[in-house]
Amino acid sequence: MAQVDLTSLESPAKLEEFYRQMVFIRHFEERCNVAYRQGLIGGYMHTYIGMEATGVGFHHAIKVGWDYVITAYRDHPQPLLMGSDPVAVMAEIMGRKGGLSKGKGGSMHIYDKERNFFGGWGIVGGHTALGGGLAFAAKYRGEDRVTLCYLGDGAANAGVFFETLNMAGLWDLPCIFIIENNEFAMGTRLEYHAADTELWKRGLPFGIESERIDGMDVLQVAADARRIVDKVRKEGKPYLVEVMNYRFVGHGAADNDRQLYRTKEEEEQAMRRDPIALLEKILLDRNVMTREKMEAIEAETEARVDEIYEKAKASPFPDPHEVYDDLYTDLGPERGH
Amino acid sequence: MIETTFRDAIHRCIDEEMERNPDVFVIGEDIGRYEGTFKVTKGLWPKYGEKRVVDTPIVEPGFTGIAIGAAMTGLRPIVEMMTMSFSILALDQIINHAAKIHYMTGGQVSVPMVVRGPGGAAKQLSAQHSHSLEGWYAHVPGLKVVAPATVQDAYGMLKTAVWDDNPVIFTENPGLYTLKGTIPDDKDFTVPFGKAQILREGSDLSLVGYSRMTQVNLAVAEKLAEKGLSAEVVDVRSLLPLDTETIYASVRKTHRAVVVYEDWRSGGFGAEIAARIGEDCFDDLDSPVLRVGGLNVPMPYARVLELECIPDVDDVLATIERKLG
């Protein structure tokens, strides 16, 4: 097969957008890590550092606000890409009143219904059935919406995921299951958690078209994603794609000792394929962007993230009485201990 | 008024609401072609087709999750559990997902879903098919839990459940399916949640229960009347939200309370009701609040042992006699 010049498929403006988005996610997540260490973010928090090309690549293939998107707890980048107010995203992560879920969800549970972003889920594999349900609803109503259902390699072993794949195959649900294979289920390496490490094969027994793609080259992801999303929209059938990437950080912000499960050498090797650095090289080699321009974008992004962070930090914590709000649509819970 | 049964009242409600609103659909195991294990959904599949009467694989977590996902977009699934015992497999979906969504999204997303099915002992279905789980569900903020005891309530409360924008657990004791009764000839008839009812007035003690145990309590009251005792029968029917006012008003009138429930006696929902009466009506009570619950054993198969487990009229009468004299 002839090598396709993927840059030629995207306009310079689009390439710049890819770059800006990836740099933005990287900075946003790094800022989250700093805030976590400072005690300004609590609980469990999982960042997307190293995996940016996957989210950005797929984001450009969907119709934002029409298609459905659902993911697990590594969920910061999705709303940021879909146009949610980044201050509201950061405020949610910081447990503030101004957060998308008014501080009730936190880092793992970010939602933006207006944009059809349905979270933000903390039970490994549990949300994949909900993703199937979103696609079920689209099919039920005869709409051409596509559902992107992200999950990790750890979730690819969950029983409910297999149940969902079966029903998706059986009922032709227009759902794209995106296994973000970052090689680790928390601290357990792929070959220690999966009998068959080729996770893309998970769809095959259910008659679901399935493949494995490289998740570090955003141009490749974007091209593959567009092909897959268009196909699912057209044919109304499910699809499974295993995206090979790597998280450059711990499982969560509380994971401080990565050497328990992987070596520094291995990390360094993986980081040589940093998706941002890869894109920079392509942009430079093809004369799409200069180094100066990249540095300017970096600086601009850093300033923007600072501003987002300061605004989120200025949002007050929820009032104690809000603990009773939003349990039901129509009634409050009983009060008191 | 229409004369019908508990089972047909539920069927009629589902049929009417599916006719009324194309967003309402039923999903579960063997509910379409097979007509449902307890035949509640009989006739719906030929009428509405497989799009709206969805026969699923035998995977409670998976199809419950599909229903939740669909409900997040505004569809109104009615999920049938072949028995509520099988909903144990779907607890993660119901408790960790459905019950949390509205709160965890800060009110952005709701789940207008009903999970319904037979809960409690049928007849010799033994240990894995006879659970009364309403107490487990009523423990979970974010769910609504109802357990009707009459034909009219089965019809009217299911209507309310279908129109509720929150996840509702609707439990049907299989012993009630053949119960006869009447319902209003009114498709808009509803029975609100959070309202207990007095099914028989009395002055000497309050018999508090829900689901089939309310029918047992009515029979107990009849027996007590023969002995010259006047028992009030309080049908709780809505566990979450719980109408404590009606329960307390009865206890304040009679000064004695017996709580009857089929669930395991220890930690069952009756224990919650008893604790509340003790906490809030202490000064009104002339005797300790009594509980009559299911025996704390897995449900045995042999009919004689099964009957031993489930509270009946004699068990309630014996407890009253032993403890209240």
Chain centroid offset of residue B155 CA? 12
Query: Interface pTM (ipTM) of the complex?
Result: 0.96
What share of chain B in percent tops pLDDT 90?
A: 99
Put simply, whether A73 touches B (Cβ < 8 Å) is: no
Residue B199 φ/ψ, nearest 5 degrees: -90, -20
Task: Give the pLDDT score at B65.
Answer: 98
Separation of alpha carbons B273 and B270, rounded Å? 5
Put simply, whether B238 touches A (Cβ < 8 Å) is: no
Contacts of B184 (CB under 8 A, 6+ apart): B1, B2, B152
The single residue listed with the structure tokens 């697990």 is A72
Question: Do the chains contact at A327 and B109, CB–CB below 8 Å?
Answer: no
* pLDDT, mean of residues A237-261: 91
Residue A107 structure tokens? 């880092």
What region, left, alpha or beta, does residue B147 occupy, with left being phi > 0 and alpha being psi -120 to 50 degrees? Answer: beta
At the top level of CATH, the class of A7-312 is alpha beta
Q: Which residues pair with B233 in a beta bridge?
A: B200, B207
- A20 by DSSP, 3-state: which? helix
Using pLDDT thresholds of 50, 70 and 90, give the confidence band for residue A257. Answer: confident
- Identify whether residues B55 and B149 lie together within a single domain: yes
Task: Give the pLDDT score at A199.
Answer: 97
Among B63, B93, B103, the residue with its CB nearest the CB of A104 is B103
Catalytic residues of B: 60, 129
> B122 lies in a domain?
yes
Among A130, A164, A167, the residue with its CB nearest the CB of B72 is A130
Question: Nearest CA of chain B to the CA of A213: how many Å?
Answer: 27
Amino acid, single-letter form, for residue A195: A
Separation of alpha carbons B203 and B256, rounded Å? 9
- Identify whether residues B134 and B234 lie together within a single domain: no
Among B63, B69, B166, the residue with its CB nearest the CB of A329 is B166
Residue of B59, B79, B104 for testing the chain A interface, max A β-carbons within 10 Å: B104
Closest Cα to residue B170, out of B203, B141, B198, B137?
B137
Q: What is the pLDDT of residues A79-126, one digit of tens each?
A: 999 999 999 999 999 999 999 999 999 999 999 999 999 999 999 999
Cα-based angle A131, A27, A298 (whole degrees, multiple of 5): 130
Put simply, whether B50 touches A (Cβ < 8 Å) is: no
* pLDDT, mean of residues B37-61: 97
Q: What is the pLDDT of residues B138-183, one digit of tens each?
A: 999 999 999 999 999 999 999 999 999 999 999 999 999 999 999 9
DSSP 8-state class, residue A91: H
State which residues form the domain around B87.
2-183
- My answer on whether omega of the bond before B241 falls inside 30° of 0, hence cis, is yes
Half-sphere CA count of B138, side-chain side, radius 13 A: 27
Put simply, whether B226 touches A (Cβ < 8 Å) is: no
> What residues in A contact B96, CB-CB < 8 Å?
122-123, 126
Separation of alpha carbons B149 and B228, rounded Å? 26
Amino acid, single-letter form, for residue A155: A
> B240 lies in a domain?
yes
Task: Give the pLDDT score at A1.
Answer: 46
Question: End of a domain among B156, B183, B210?
Answer: B183
> What residues in B contact A137, CB-CB < 8 Å?
69-70, 72-75
Three-class SS of chain B = CEEEEHHHHHHHHHHHHHHHCCCEEEEECCCCCCCCCCCCCCCHHHHHHHHHEEECCCCHHHHHHHHHHHHHCCCEEEEECCCHHHHHHHHHHHHHHHHHHHHHCCCCCCCCCEEEEECCCCCCCCCCCCCCCHHHHHCCECEEEECCCCHHHHHHHHHHHHHCCCCEEEEECHHHCCCEEEECCCCCCCCCCCCCEEEECCCCEEEEECCHHHHHHHHHHHHHHHCCCCEEEEECCEEECCCHHHHHHHHHHHCCEEEEEEEECCCCHHHHHHHHHHHHCHHHCCCCCEEEEECCCCCCCCHHHHHHHCCCHHHHHHHHHHHHC
- CATH number of B30's domain: 3.40.50.970
> B241 lies in a domain?
yes
Question: End of a domain among B137, B161, B183?
Answer: B183
**In chain A, where are the structural domains located?**
7-312
- Identify whether residues B175 and B210 lie together within a single domain: no
- CATH number of B270's domain: 3.40.50.920
Structural domains in chain B (count): 2
- Identify whether residues B309 and B164 lie together within a single domain: no
- Identify whether residues B213 and B171 lie together within a single domain: no
Task: Give the pLDDT score at B19.
Answer: 98
Separation of alpha carbons A157 and A162, rounded Å? 8
- Identify whether residues B165 and B46 lie together within a single domain: yes
Residue of A nearest to B105 (CA): A101
Average pLDDT, chain A: 95
* pLDDT, mean of residues A31-51: 96
- My answer on whether omega of the bond before A120 falls inside 30° of 0, hence cis, is yes
- Identify whether residues B311 and B166 lie together within a single domain: no
Residue B285 φ/ψ, nearest 5 degrees: -90, 135
Separation of alpha carbons A46 and A23, rounded Å? 17
B 142-201 residues inside an 8 A Cβ radius of A: 142, 144, 164-166, 194
Among A114, A136, A329, the residue with its CB nearest the CB of B102 is A329
> What residues in B contact A140, CB-CB < 8 Å?
25, 51, 70, 75
Q: What is the pLDDT of residues B231-275, one digit of tens each?
A: 999 999 999 999 999 999 999 999 999 999 999 999 999 999 999
Question: Nearest CA of chain A to the CA of B217: how many Å?
Answer: 28
Does residue A2 carry a pLDDT above 70? no
Question: End of a domain among B153, B183, B213?
Answer: B183
Using pLDDT thresholds of 50, 70 and 90, give the confidence band for residue A278. Answer: very high
Question: Do the chains contact at B241 and A331, CB–CB below 8 Å?
Answer: yes
Q: What is the pLDDT of residues A217-226, one digit of tens each?
A: 999 999 999 9
* pLDDT, mean of residues A265-294: 94
Separation of alpha carbons B118 and B27, rounded Å? 15
- Identify whether residues B171 and B143 lie together within a single domain: yes
Contact A16, A286 (CB under 8 A): no
- Identify whether residues B49 and B148 lie together within a single domain: yes
Separation of alpha carbons A50 and B60, rounded Å? 36
- Identify whether residues B149 and B206 lie together within a single domain: no
Average pLDDT, chain B: 97
Question: Do the chains contact at A167 and B142, CB–CB below 8 Å?
Answer: no
Residue A101 φ/ψ, nearest 5 degrees: -110, 25
What region, left, alpha or beta, does residue B74 occupy, with left being phi > 0 and alpha being psi -120 to 50 degrees? Answer: left
Separation of alpha carbons A27 and A76, rounded Å? 12
B 53-112 residues inside an 8 A Cβ radius of A: 56-57, 59, 61-75, 92-93, 96-97, 102-110
Q: Which range among A10-14, A292-296, A321-325, B289-293 shows the weakest confidence by mean pLDDT? A: A10-14
* pLDDT, mean of residues B116-136: 96
> B189 lies in a domain?
no
Half-sphere CA count of A187, side-chain side, radius 13 A: 13
Using pLDDT thresholds of 50, 70 and 90, give the confidence band for residue A197. Answer: very high
Among A104, A128, A167, the residue with its CB nearest the CB of B63 is A167
> What residues in B contact A328, CB-CB < 8 Å?
102, 142, 144, 166
Among A100, A126, A137, the residue with its CB nearest the CB of B106 is A100
Question: Do the chains contact at A327 and B25, CB–CB below 8 Å?
Answer: no
Q: Which residues pair with B25 in a beta bridge?
A: B77
Separation of alpha carbons A93 and A98, rounded Å? 10
> What residues in A contact B73, CB-CB < 8 Å?
68, 134, 137-138
How do beta strands A68-70 and B257-264 pair? unpaired
> What residues in A contact B164, CB-CB < 8 Å?
330
> What residues in B contact A120, CB-CB < 8 Å?
104-105
Among A126, A141, A164, the residue with its CB nearest the CB of B96 is A126
Q: What is the pLDDT of residues A3-36, one digit of tens each?
A: 667 777 788 999 999 999 999 999 999 999 999 9
Put simply, whether A174 touches B (Cβ < 8 Å) is: no
What share of chain A in percent tops pLDDT 70?
A: 99
Contact A312, A84 (CB under 8 A): no
Separation of alpha carbons B66 and B82, rounded Å? 17
Sign of CA dihedral B109, B106, B97, B194: negative
Question: Do the chains contact at B166 and A170, CB–CB below 8 Å?
Answer: no
Question: Do the chains contact at A101 and B108, CB–CB below 8 Å?
Answer: yes
- A46 by DSSP, 3-state: which? coil
Q: Which residues pair with A210 in a beta bridge?
A: A240
CB–CB contacts below 8 A, A to B: 149
Task: Give the pLDDT score at B81.
Answer: 98
Question: Nearest CA of chain B to the CA of A326: how many Å?
Answer: 5
Question: Do the chains contact at A129 and B61, CB–CB below 8 Å?
Answer: yes
Residue of B103, B111, B168, B243 for testing the chain A interface, max A β-carbons within 10 Å: B103
Closest Cα to residue A136, out of B222, B316, B274, B65?
B65
- Identify whether residues B53 and B102 lie together within a single domain: yes
Question: Do the chains contact at B96 and A123, CB–CB below 8 Å?
Answer: yes
Separation of alpha carbons B13 and A55, rounded Å? 45
Separation of alpha carbons A267 and A249, rounded Å? 9
Among B59, B69, B73, the residue with its CB nearest the CB of A163 is B59
